[in-house]
A and B are shown apart, each in its own frame.
Chain A
Amino acid sequence: QQQVKQSPQSLIVQKGGISIINCAYENTAFDYFPWYQQFPGKGPALLIAIRPDVSEKKEGRFTISFNKSAKQFSLHIMDSQPGDSATYFCAASAQGSNYKLTFGKGTLLTVNP
């Protein structure tokens, strides 16, 4: 049972374009939704996170949109840059499960110059 479904599997965007990655979850107990960024040879690192009491969170060029009723959340990268080329993972966790993170399968983003 895949609790967090992520799409697309891969994404190619031109420099300056908008990258959009989508995730859907099933467990209504989830109360924390982070996005992680991973470069080759490195461990994932937190990019941005949201809790379900807000519908949007923005940090620089990165925005999370959250739709609680649809059980969906998405990452938008504005003005995408070649340095943004990486694998992106959405995740979800619940306080009642000792904050165990459940990850999507990842999206490989390539930003062409």
Chain B
Amino acid sequence: DVKVTQSSRYLVKRTGEKVFLECVQDMDHENMFWYRQDPGLGLRLIYFSYDVKMKEKGDIPEGYSVSREKKERFSLILESASTNQTSMYLCAGLSAGTEAFFGQGTRLTVV
């Protein structure tokens, strides 16, 4: 079965901490995405990657960075966590012309 796995379901971090959200996929997807989901705002694209070590900013990249050293792993990094980054974070994998598969999400709370 297709799997996109996010390493944590729930995280609580302190303001100013550097936070790593990990995502692993087993479908050999070329493209991987990080979205954040907030009530009333839908899914907003933070960053995506279309190949190893290739990345492109999405609609709301400020305060975030990403890393894709291997095809199966795409990490989202919050350089210095702030309370306005409290949100649900969703990772997805996609191959050209096919559906996107999402992970279960990581609910991050920054206190």
A residues near B (Cβ < 8 Å) are 6, 9, 32, 34, 36, 41-46, 49, 89, 95, 98-106
CB of B40 within 8 A of CB of A9, answer yes
CB < 8 Å neighbour of A106 from B42, B56, B105 = B42
B residues near A (Cβ < 8 Å) are 4, 31, 33, 35, 40-45, 48, 50, 56, 58, 90, 92, 94, 96-97, 99-100, 102-105
CB of A43 within 8 A of CB of B104, answer yes
CB of B105 within 8 A of CB of A103, answer no
CB < 8 Å neighbour of B43 from A34, A46, A49, A89 = A89
Closest to B40 in A: A105
Closest to A44 in B: B102
CB of B94 within 8 A of CB of A45, answer no
- Of A6, A41, A42, A99, the most chain B CB neighbours within 10 A belong to A99
10 pairs of A and B residues whose beta carbons are closest in the complex: A43-B102, A105-B42, A46-B99, A103-B43, A98-B50, A106-B42, A103-B42, A44-B102, A43-B104, A43-B105
Measured in the bound complex, the distance between the Cα atoms of B43 and A100 in whole Å is: 12
Measured in the bound complex, the distance between the Cα atoms of B39 and A105 in whole Å is: 9
Closest to B90 in A: A43
B97: chain A residues at CB < 8 Å are: 32, 95, 99
CB of B43 within 8 A of CB of A99, answer no
B105: chain A residues at CB < 8 Å are: 41-43
